[in-house]
């Protein structure tokens, strides 16, 4: 839980300072009145800037389908606020998003209104205030007054409503609210509200654990991990910089990564010049695993390369073998992102092309398919509220076509890595199984499933069984989990084409 140096952000643990610092006075009524009259508006706004930025991001996420992980860093960069305030702003924003379903249930009771009947501006302020009151070490008086002040600037008429609702929320402890909003609900509904996941996601993650051979009893730990703040990860591109040259702590799994305590890694020179990339270590491991497997010499390819993090790691690894990487994406904007991500590498070319039109032959191919993103909810918390069960079905056809294209474009003896940032069984195991079954049925029974957990174990030094998914023809698929590996939930299948 982030704390700022600001006076109103200090205090004891959550619930230990009920009512705030009521007894502390800095002067009589006349002193306070004179302070209020003399305080410049800009100074007040500056003091409350973290809440203002968090409220703006929450509002844009709700009304403009904005992505917090893209919007918030840009806003923080423009303000040049200190590390403590940046961390406070980040916790306000991501915390309110991660626990939004729980806060919405509380707000509905406290306001006696359905969430859809509350306008976006006051609702964003209520979510922001609820997070401070129920999950952070912010004194009640500060959570109330400063949050109301934010919405009062833009929507004065609703400030009283926001104030009244937040006061009602402050009258009970978090556990009391949880009991109240989950009374007489099913176990699935209780978990969905307590951990702020849509019920269909709770059911899908239960099925995913079972499908990948894990115990469904891990579900609550997995849901909790999605709500744990993830540190910023930075990957040192092999051959360009060693991770010992980067600030931060070495990542426990990826041998080329570090984690930073700062919310904005703008001051890391290697990130700015392209020798290092902001990247979760799970994503780095997917690229490292493909680079690790032996294959005939030849050009490598990344068929769905945007925004370019895995392409940068692959390109750096290919450069170490004097090989080239061709990176493609079907979006011009994402191709531009790939070019920026790989700007420090001269052996990478990025081009606009649909991955279903891969030509080859390539000795190594990464096909990191578009997916639901259910494995990255701790970094993109709003995604859980935007996805629908039908999205899985809509994406499955594209995923099958991309993998089939990669298999066709692979050179004899070459290796394909199929990956998703999701543990959903229908996006992972079922896709690879079906494509291989249809390929064998058509007479092309030329694909060997490699032991992906063993490859990850050789890279990380971690027991292979922790990555294990299902076994197929002597090989195994791999699945990373936020609650086990403290990484995004990446799925990986390594497939070799017969010579």
Q: Are strands 325-329 and 348-352 parallel, antiparallel or unpaired?
A: parallel
Specify whether 371 is catalytic. Answer: no
329 is in an annotated binding site: yes
192 is in an annotated binding site: no
Helices (H) and strands (E) in the chain, counts: 22, 13
Please state, in angstroms and rounded to a whole number, the distance separating the CA atoms of residues 98 and 457: 31
Sole residue written with tokens 């849901």: 223
160 is in an annotated binding site: no
310 is in an annotated binding site: yes
211 is in an annotated binding site: no
248 is in an annotated binding site: no
Q: Retrieve residue 88's tokens.
A: 């406070």
410 is in an annotated binding site: no
307 is in an annotated binding site: yes
Residue 207's φ and ψ, nearest 5 degrees, are -65, -35
Find the helix or strand (DSSP H, E) in which 417 lies.
strand 410-420
Helix axes 156-170, 140-154, angle to 10 degrees: 160
Please state, in angstroms and rounded to a whole number, the distance separating the CA atoms of residues 400 and 411: 19
Q: Retrieve residue 478's tokens.
A: 């791999």
296 is in an annotated binding site: no
User: Which of 86, 192, 421, 456 does the annotation list as catalytic?
Assistant: 421
Question: Which residues sit opposite 448 in a β-bridge?
Answer: 496
Please state, in angstroms and rounded to a whole number, the distance separating the CA atoms of residues 250 and 234: 10
Query: Residues, the chain, total?
Result: 499
Cβ–Cβ contacts within 10 Å for residue 381, how many? 24
354 is in an annotated binding site: yes
> Which segments are annotated as binding site?
304-310, 329, 354, 368
> Which segments are annotated as binding site for S-adenosyl-L-methionine?
304-310, 329, 354, 368
Q: Which residues are catalytic?
A: 421
């Amino acid at each position: 839980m982030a704390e700022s140096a600001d006076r109103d952000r200090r205090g004891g643990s959550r619930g230990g300072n009920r009512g705030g610092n009521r007894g502390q006075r800095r002067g009589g009524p006349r002193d306070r009145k004179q302070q209020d009259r003399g305080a410049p508006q800009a100074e007040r706004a500056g003091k409350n800037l973290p809440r203002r930025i968090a409220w703006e991001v929450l509002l844009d996420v709700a009304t403009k389908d904005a992505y917090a992980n893209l919007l918030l860093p840009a806003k923080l960069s423009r303000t040049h606020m200190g590390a403590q305030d940046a961390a406070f702003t980040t916790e306000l924003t991501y915390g309110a998003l991660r626990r939004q379903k729980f806060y919405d249930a509380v707000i509905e009771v406290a306001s006696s209104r359905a969430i859809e009947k509350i306008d976006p501006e006051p609702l964003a302020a209520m979510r922001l205030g609820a997070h401070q009151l129920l999950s952070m070490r912010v004194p009640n008086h500060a959570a109330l007054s400063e949050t109301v002040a934010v919405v009062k600037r833009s929507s004065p008429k609703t400030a009283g409503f926001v104030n009244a609702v937040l006061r009602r929320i402050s009258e009970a402890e978090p556990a009391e609210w949880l009991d109240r909003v989950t009374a007489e609900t099913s176990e699935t509904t209780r978990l969905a509200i307590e951990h702020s996941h849509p019920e269909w996601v709770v059911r899908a993650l239960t099925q995913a654990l079972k499908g990948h051979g894990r115990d469904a009893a891990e579900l609550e730990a997995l849901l909790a991990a999605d709500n744990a703040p993830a540190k910023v990860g930075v990957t040192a591109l092999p051959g360009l910089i060693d991770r010992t040259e980067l600030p931060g702590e070495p990542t426990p799994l990826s041998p080329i990564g570090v984690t930073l305590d700062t919310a904005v890694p703008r001051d890391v020179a290697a990130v700015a010049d392209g020798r290092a990339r902001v990247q979760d270590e799970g994503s780095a491991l997917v690229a490292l695993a493909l680079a690790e497997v032996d294959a005939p010499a030849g050009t490598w390819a990344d068929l769905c390369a945007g925004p370019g993090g895995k392409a940068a790691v692959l390109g750096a690894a290919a450069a170490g073998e004097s090989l080239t990487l061709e990176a493609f994406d079907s979006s011009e904007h994402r191709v531009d992102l790939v070019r920026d991500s790989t700007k420090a590498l001269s052996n990478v070319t990025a081009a606009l092309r649909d991955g279903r039109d891969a030509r080859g032959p390539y000795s190594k191919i990464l096909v990191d398919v578009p997916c639901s993103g259910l494995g990255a909810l701790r970094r993109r918390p709003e995604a859980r509220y935007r996805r629908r069960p039908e999205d899985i079905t809509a994406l499955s056809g594209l995923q099958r076509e991309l993998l089939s294209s990669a298999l066709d474009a692979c050179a004899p003896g070459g290796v394909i890595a199929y990956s998703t940032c999701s543990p959903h069984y229908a996006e992972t195991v079922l896709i690879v199984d079906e494509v291989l079954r249809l390929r064998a049925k058509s007479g092309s029974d030329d694909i060997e499933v490699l032991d992906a957990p063993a490859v990850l174990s050789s890279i990380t030094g971690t027991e292979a069984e922790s990555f294990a998914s299902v076994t197929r023809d002597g090989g195994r698929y791999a699945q990373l989990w936020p609650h086990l590996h403290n990484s995004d939930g990446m799925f990986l299948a390594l497939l070799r084409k017969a010579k």
